[in-house]
Structure 1
Amino acid sequence: MKTSVPVQKNDKLEVIFEDLTHDGAGVAKINGFPIFVPRALPGEESTIKITKVKKNYAFGRLIETTKESEHRVEPPCPIFKECGGCQLQHLSYDGQLKHKQKHVMDVLSRIGGMNDVHVHPTLGMEEPWRYRNKAQVPFGEEEGGLVAGFYAERSHKIIDMDRCMIQQEENDEVVMLVKDIAKKYGVRGYDEEKHKGTLRHVVTRYGKNTGELMVVLVTKGKELPNKKNIVQDIRDSLPKVKSIVQNINPKRTNVIFGDKTEVLWGEEVIYDTIGDIKFAISARSFYQVNPTQTEVLYNKTLEFAGLSGNETVIDAYCGIGTISLFLAQRAKHVYGVEIVPEAISDAKKNAQLNGIENVDFAVGEAEKVMPWWYAQGIRADVIVVDPPRKGCDEELLETIVKMKPARVVYVSCNPATLARDLKYLEGRGYKTKEVQPVDMFPHTMHVETVTVIYREG
């Protein structure tokens, strides 16, 4: 039976908000029909105006809030309302951690049918600001002037800014400096619509524990006016800089990096450490952006793996070997597999850099490489997976079930695909024991989790 839509555009309504969407909007319901309203919080009672109506949901805006959430705070960032970078600065940090725990519990119940799994309180940061060690800042032109900042929510309009409260200060310094230097030498920002201009992005990488800094200038073509002077000015102003790199991206695309990268000055990589492990980071390496919480996440992964020194471990989706090298400190042997050849090259270099020999890395799809290892007589006691947002391929989950490890440790950046994959494993002889949310991205809706799953019997 088809139900009619209970609201119309421009309706003014009194509502109570129940939840948040994946992008941080408040959710209210009229006769079960959801209405999404930016910057509203669960528990708040408000008057709203309907701005857009779809078949199964509507959008609204706040007119007045008559009862505020106890967790509502004044966002400290002056451009919070315009910028699309953070969604939750108006929610207290304690409120954010509680919401992320609840979100994981709700998704496990709704998608996975799991109501008895213990979800721990979210592990947060003592100081949840200035945590990002990598900035990717688009440059453009507005009314004839150079602008640099982050995109406004749901658009490609650049909000010009000098400071970002979730970036480490060193990254802010680089962006402001390059903006000033580009203006000095008349370097034009990139115009996405006309596909004109020179400077598309500035990417900065900072080694929090080493103090080393990399500056990447992403340009539309090889030409960069006054290149030598620009490099010298950056060096003169930034004593911590170890690497200045140009990446060339001539394509009409919103992908940041092009295929060609060349070092303009200094080293090809900078270094940083997580725990006792040292990592080499190139312009395009994948490396976690919150080093403080990465250590928390990896220590929890190590704890859930329950290693005594006699185990063989497989790390599927191993990337540049970050988790593999952590596990290798306590395992008999670790096998890492990753589909991106450059990542495996980095992983091998990182193992060498740390003198870790009880680890092997292979390029390929985990679901193809793991059966081959199995055929060679390799038996995994523990399998660790850290997949992208889309979760594990079903073929990989099938392979895990066939290999029968005693336990699986699942590191996830998307509770929805985690719940789906846990449901698959639970139907095939595995039991989910506990889930630990970790707040890797304060003031955003993202939440990472580490889950331990045991083979029954």
Structure 2
Amino acid sequence: MQKNDTAVTAITDIGVNGEGIGKVDGYTLFIKDAVIGDTVEAKVMKAKKNYGYARLMKIIEPSPDRVEPVCPFARKCGGCQIQEMSYERQLAFKEQKVRGNLERIGGFDGELLDQVMEPILGMENPFGYRNKAQFPFGKDRNGNTVTGFYAGRTHDIIANTDCALGVPVNRKILEIILEYMEQYGVSPYDEKSGKGLIRHALIRYGFQTGEIMVCLVVNGTAKDLSHAEKLTEKLCTLEGMTSISISPNTERTNVIMGKTYEVLWGQGYITDTIGGIRYQISPLSFYQVNPAQTEKLYSTALEYAELTGKETVWDLYCGIGTITLFLAQKAKSVYGVEIVPQAIDDARRNAHINGIENAEFFVGKAEEVLPKYYAAHGENAAAADDADNADDMAHADVIVVDPPRKGCDEALLDTIVKMKPEKVVYVSCDSATLARDLKMLCGNGYELKRVRAVDQFPMTVHVETVCLLSHKSPDSVINC
């Protein structure tokens, strides 16, 4: 097919960015806003040799799973890719996405997956679930200051202060900020010129505590924010306001947050609880955005670990210690590893405020910290007089990994294989890299026992997955 050609096609799948996928005489078309089950007319906008990108021109026959989106900006906004698909169909799609990647990339047999895959964990109400949102500021075509979300694959702001996935208080906060900017002539940041002050507003909300954080990302310093006291005064009228800060970011970059933050009012964090564990969350902390599903996700990981109180556990990519502290309630000792120093500071503080003394944290890359630790303590274990201590130093009974989308580093996987933990619990936000890593581990002494998808991000194509791997000879011992 060529650019500007039109074609009628049935939509049979969804791409990684939420586009509907259809075929015309074997030629694949990616069509934004098309839903599985639709028959559509589309116009080719970009043509490659074997595939192309097309614009939805007309829905000839709507899918039985097509629904009216809750948000009027759903089609324009880049935040929700599949809001026009019924939630039941979203869950089925995500479950099949995980299974498909495990079969195609991981090489796992369909009959095995029939045995080990458990039903996806969805939400009763798949809206209003986000405890964090980052809103860019800019100017519209008429020169008015606006905030909202970027349109898909662009940095054009769709003006909207009332996101259907966020909490209601976001709207009030954004309206206060916009009113303040207009009243005192505070300019939004312009990406093209690098001028202007306010880049983003980060808003966090504690679902269990009701505490609110507002952090303004500014192209400057606190001194550049004129009449800041007037802004904090207005924000403080909102019930639950706990932390108001700024994060300087003067770099010409797409990275939202600066490297530091400064408190303007209140404290530098909010608190929230998941599964009875209390967490302090700073502006720079990584914290799962969907607390209701996070509790299901981490509870599943804890269930898969089957801890009895005698185990040594490593939690890699631990963030602020969310999974670590869950595990510490049931394990003998837990070691958390995270590359972000501020997150480790938060993790240690979170352990302290929860009275957890059997968790220790290390700053560094998981693929560097674990191999070094294993090499050092593996050698020392041979000379240890205390057998229990030797076991603790020489190996892990359970290793939990929750890596970024790129998955685990090869050096880390190699070390896991050498350490031979009885169980590996793999928490993943990308089922493609998950499948790749599971293939390696299952080719080196492990077998896949349980898999469960968790819908952490309704209305989007993303899905979390928890897997349990068991060593084929669980009674084996490392002799170092």
Q: Which residue of 1 aligns with 2:448?
A: 432
Q: Which amino acid in structure 2 is aligned with residue 133 of structure 1? A: N
Instruction: Establish whether residue 87 from structure 1 lines up as the match of residue 81 from structure 2.
Output: yes
Using the alignment, how far apart are the partners of 1:229 and 1:333 within structure 2? 48
Aligned residues: 450
Are 2:217 and 2:246, in contact at CA under 8 Å, matched by a contact in 1?
yes
State whether residues 171 and 206 of structure 1, in contact with CA within 8 Å, keep that contact through their aligned partners in structure 2. Answer: no
Task: Pick the aligned partner of 1:24 from 12, 18, 29.
Answer: 18
Cα displacement string for residues 333-367 of structure 1 (whole angstroms, at most 9, x for unaligned residues): 11111122221111111100100001111112223
CA deviation after TM superposition for structure 1 residue 169, in Å: 1.1
**What amino acid maps onto 1:168 in structure 2?**
V
SS at match of 1:182: helix
Asked if the contact 2:31/2:53 (under 8 Å) is kept, the reply is yes
Q: Which residue of 1 aligns with 2:259?
A: 259
2:160 is matched by which residue type in structure 1?
A: M
Residue identity in the other structure for 1:100: K
Q: 1:137-216 alignment to 2 at 5 Å?
A: 137-142=135-140, 143-216=142-215
Separation (CA, whole Å) in 2 of partners of 1:233 and 1:108: 51
Partner of 1:289 in structure 2? 289
Amino acid in structure 1 at the alignment position of 2:30: F
Out of 358-367 and 55-64, give the one that drifted further. Answer: 55-64
1:327-366 to structure 2, matched below 5 A, reads 327-366=327-366
* Equivalent residue, structure 2, for 1:233: 234
AA at the equivalent of 1:239: E
Letter in 2 for 1:120: E
Query: How far did 1:171 drift?
Result: 2.2
Task: Report SS of the residue matched to 1:295.
Answer: helix
Q: Distance in 2 between matches of 1:402 and 1:165?
A: 47
Deviation at residue 112 of structure 1 after TM alignment: 0.8
Amino acid at match of 1:285: S
Alignment of 1:8-19 (within 5 A): 8-19=2-13
* Cα deviation digits, residues 163-184 of structure 1 (max 9, x gap): 0000011222212221122222
Give the partner amino acid of 2:192: E
Amino acid at match of 1:72: R
Q: How much has 1:380 moved relative to structure 2?
A: 0.7
Contact 1:311 / 1:332 at 8 angstroms: preserved in 2?
A: yes
Matched residue, 2:98:
104
Flag as ranges the 4+ runs of structure 1 deviating above 4 A.
none
Share of identical aligned residues, percent?
A: 52
Q: Provide Cα deviations, 1:260-307, integer angstroms capped at 9, x if missing partner.
A: 311111111111111110001111111111111000000000000011
Does residue 53 (structure 1) correspond to residue 47 (structure 2)? The answer is yes
Q: Between 408-417 and 424-433, report the one with greater CA deviation.
A: 424-433
Q: Secondary structure at the match of 1:121?
A: strand
Residues in 2 aligned to 1:39 and 1:30: alpha-carbon distance in whole angstroms: 18
Equivalent residue, structure 2, for 1:119? 117
Contact 1:17-1:27 within 8 A present in 2 as well: yes
What's the offset of the Cα at 1:62?
Answer: 2.6
Question: How far apart, in 1, do the equivalents of 2:263 and 2:156 lie?
Answer: 30
Q: Which residue of 1 aligns with 2:321?
A: 321
SS at match of 2:396: coil
AA matched with 1:157: D
Paired residue secondary structure (1:370): helix
Q: Counterparts of 1:144 and 1:9 in 2: how far apart (Å)? A: 35
1:408, 1:452 within 8 Å by CA — same for their partners in 2? yes
Alpha carbons of structure 1 residues 68 and 121: separation in structure 2 relative to 1, 3 Å: farther
Find the partner of 2:435 among 410, 419, 424. Answer: 419
Give TM-score scaled by structure 2 length: 0.91
Alignment check: 8 A CA contact 1:98 1:121 kept = no
Q: Which amino acid aligns with 2:228?
A: K
Which residue number corresponds to residue 476 of structure 2?
none
Offset of residue 133 of structure 1: 0.6
- Equivalent residue number for residue 217 of structure 2: 218
Residues in 2 aligned to 1:371 and 1:42: alpha-carbon distance in whole angstroms: 45
Equivalent residue, structure 2, for 1:308: 308
Q: Which residue in the other structure is 1:370 paired with?
A: 370
Structure 2 Cα separation of the partners of residues 72 and 158 of structure 1: 26
Q: Who is 1:3 aligned against?
A: none
2:32 to 17, 35, 38: 38
- C-alpha distance in 2, partners of 1:266/1:386? 32
406-415 vs 311-320, which moves further: 311-320
Match of 1:383 in 2: 399
- State whether residues 7 and 24 of structure 2, in contact with CA within 8 Å, keep that contact through their aligned partners in structure 1: no
8 Å Cα contact 1:133-1:171 kept in structure 2? no
Residue 472 of structure 2: aligned partner: 456
SS in structure 2 at match of 1:112: coil
**1:177-220 CA distances to partner (integer Å, 9 max, x unpaired)?**
21122222221111111111111111111111001111111111
SS in 1 for 2:121: coil
Alignment check: 8 A CA contact 1:97 1:121 kept:
no
Q: 247-256 or 100-109: which moved more?
A: 247-256
Letter of the 1:414 partner, please give it. Answer: D
Aligned to 2:384: none
Distance 2:235 2:58 in 1: 48
3-state SS in 2 of match to 1:211: coil
Aligned to 1:410: 426
For residue 165 of structure 1, give the secondary structure of its aligned residue in structure 2: coil
1:66 aligns with 2:60: yes
Q: Which amino acid aligns with 1:41?
A: V
Instruction: Give the counterpart of 1:132 among 105, 115, 130.
Output: 130
> In structure 1, what residue type is equivalent to 2:342?
E
SS in 2 for 1:107: helix
Cα offset for 1:45?
A: 2.2
In the other structure, the counterpart of 2:458 is: 442
Deviates more, 1:39-48 or 1:299-308: 39-48
Q: Which moved more, 1:58-67 or 1:155-164?
A: 58-67
Secondary structure (helix, strand or coil) at the match of 1:173 reads helix
